[in-house]
Structure 1
Amino acid sequence: MHTERSVRRAVRQNALGLFFGGVFLAALVGQSFAGWAVFDDTQAAQGLDPIGWVEYVTSSSFAADVAENWQSEYLQFLLYIWATVWFVQRGSPESKEQDQTGLESDEDQEVGTHAGPRSPRWAAVGGVRQVVFSHSLLLVMGGVFLASWAAQSAAGVVSYDEQQLLDLEAPVTWAQYVGSADFWNRTLQNWQSEFLAVGSMAVLSVFLRERGSPESKPVGAPHDDTGAEG
């Protein structure tokens, strides 16, 4: 009984992460089956044999499609995290107050001598560890973006060269592919949609509400109330 209560409490306390983890896996599996069907249709149109699902999900084509979306998502959050340090949007709950732009004081950030008894250990120490921890979210987001971008380009050139050979054309190098219109067309169509979405969120939340959401201001908050959460 105690174990059951502990499990329920753990699920309740981590429900947001579990929810998005679940829908992520569901969408990824759905993408794999839909992509497999499209891939086999293309194979059939070209007079080639279809492949199995396992072969498809381990292919460069699937890897390139997945990594392409991941890198654009992490770039979105990388830029958003950095931009909200220095820029404000009057009336948005996604923004700090205008007089709080920048890295803020040690007192505001509860670091060094201002750290509390429950503060993370690296927040209380000085030197490199505090600097790294102070920017750890940006560093991890940037690292995942670069890794997924590298994976996209590596898998993408393999997939691209496979198609080149089928079309009886010469394959290209990684550098040629990264500089190609095909690569940047696939990349920029994802970037522009991510930038539009996050920019819209920052601006629309000035005037619109979602009751009970921390991404929204309280329903009755004035439109020009900046940084308030519902």
Structure 2
Amino acid sequence: MVIFLLCLTGMAITGLQVYNEEQLAHGSSSIPFGEYLRSGSFIEATFENWESEFLQMGAYVVLTIFLFQKGSSESKPIGEHTPQDADPRRTSISDDTPWPVRRGGVWLVLYENSLAIFFFVLFGLSFWFHAVGGAEAYSEEQAQHGLPPVGVVEYLATSQFWFESLQNWQSEFLAVAAIVGASVYLRQRGSPESKPVATPHHETGA
């Protein structure tokens, strides 16, 4: 989180410089830091990236339930029952058991899918804020060329919005494919993302 905050701060500072340079180039005045943080340009740039990250993680959590890669440390063992597959309805209940498991019913259904729900809710929120900020930034560009502004829904139908989204989505899924495939053959001693160094390539990591 410290690294995240440092990077976000650096992004905001350099983003302000880029934004003000563009403003001056178009004959407009520069804006202060606080105003930039509320601008469509900053909001769009921030949530455009968050959107792709949360989509990647949500998809990864769900797809690794059903998909396997022989030899990869990122895959569950093929053909084996794992603790993650255990039905909580058949487990023994204790005082340490999470409350939704003890309660059962809809609470248990939500809880046993809560990690995926969490990431997809964050994806949905980021997707929407990307559209909100993007519509404002896009409308500013439209105004500079004497064209009418667009609303959020209108912006969602533009190629600009989908170009911004898809250019990030493709990189996230490439990164997942890279770690899934590379972890078959490559190792990093001490990392939980790697199989033990001496493990044969064909063995799937647990």
State the TM-score bracket (shorter-chain normalisation).
over 0.9
Instruction: Give secondary structure in 1 for the equivalent of 2:79.
Output: helix
| Correspondent of 2:37 among 57, 70, 76 | 57
Q: Is the 8 A contact 1:65 1:152 kept in 2?
A: yes
2:46 is matched with 66
What is the aligned-residue RMSD (CA, Å)? 1.8
Runs of 4+ in structure 1 off by over 4 angstroms are none
Aligned length: 205
Q: Is the 8 A contact 1:115 1:123 kept in 2?
A: no
Q: Does 1:219 align with 2:192?
A: no
Superposed CA offset, 1:101-133 (max 9, x none): 8xx799x52612414533323224431111111
The 5-angstrom pairing of residues 1-230 of structure 1 reads 21-100=1-80, 108-109=85-86, 111-115=88-92, 117=94, 118-228=96-206
How big is the shift at 1:165?
0.8
Instruction: Give secondary structure in 2 for the equivalent of 1:99.
Output: coil
Q: CA, structure 1 residues 78+160, in 2 after alignment: closer, same or farther (shift >3 Å)?
A: same
Q: 2 CA distance for matches of 1:54 and 1:148?
A: 21
Q: 2 CA distance for matches of 1:200 and 1:116?
A: 40
* Structure showing greater relative contact order (alpha-carbon pairs closer than 8 Å, 6 or more residues apart): 2
How big is the shift at 1:100?
4.5
Instruction: Give secondary structure in 1 for the equivalent of 2:110.
Output: helix
Gaps of 5+ in 2: none
**Letter matched to residue 94 of structure 1:** E
Instruction: Give secondary structure in 1 for the equivalent of 2:199.
Output: coil
**Letter matched to residue 111 of structure 1:** P
Q: CA, structure 1 residues 105+215, in 2 after alignment: closer, same or farther (shift >3 Å)?
A: closer
Q: CA, structure 1 residues 63+141, in 2 after alignment: closer, same or farther (shift >3 Å)?
A: same
Q: 1 CA distance for matches of 2:34 and 2:152?
A: 26
Once structures 1 and 2 are overlaid, which stretch shifts more, 134-143 or 173-182? Answer: 173-182
Q: 2 CA distance for matches of 1:105 and 1:219?
A: 24
Q: Is the 8 A contact 1:110 1:123 kept in 2?
A: no
Gaps of 5+ in 1: 1-20
**Letter matched to residue 200 of structure 2:** P
Instruction: Give secondary structure in 2 for the equivalent of 1:48.
Output: coil
Instruction: Give secondary structure in 2 for the equivalent of 1:149.
Output: helix
Q: Is the 8 A contact 1:56 1:62 kept in 2?
A: yes
Using the size of structure 2 for normalisation, the TM-score is 0.93
**Letter matched to residue 170 of structure 2:** Q
Q: 2 CA distance for matches of 1:100 and 1:124?
A: 27
Superposed CA offset, 1:55-94 (max 9, x none): 1112111011001000100000011011100000101111
Q: 1 CA distance for matches of 2:24 and 2:202?
A: 58
Q: Percent identity?
A: 38
Using the size of structure 1 for normalisation, the TM-score is 0.84
Q: 2 CA distance for matches of 1:204 and 1:125?
A: 42
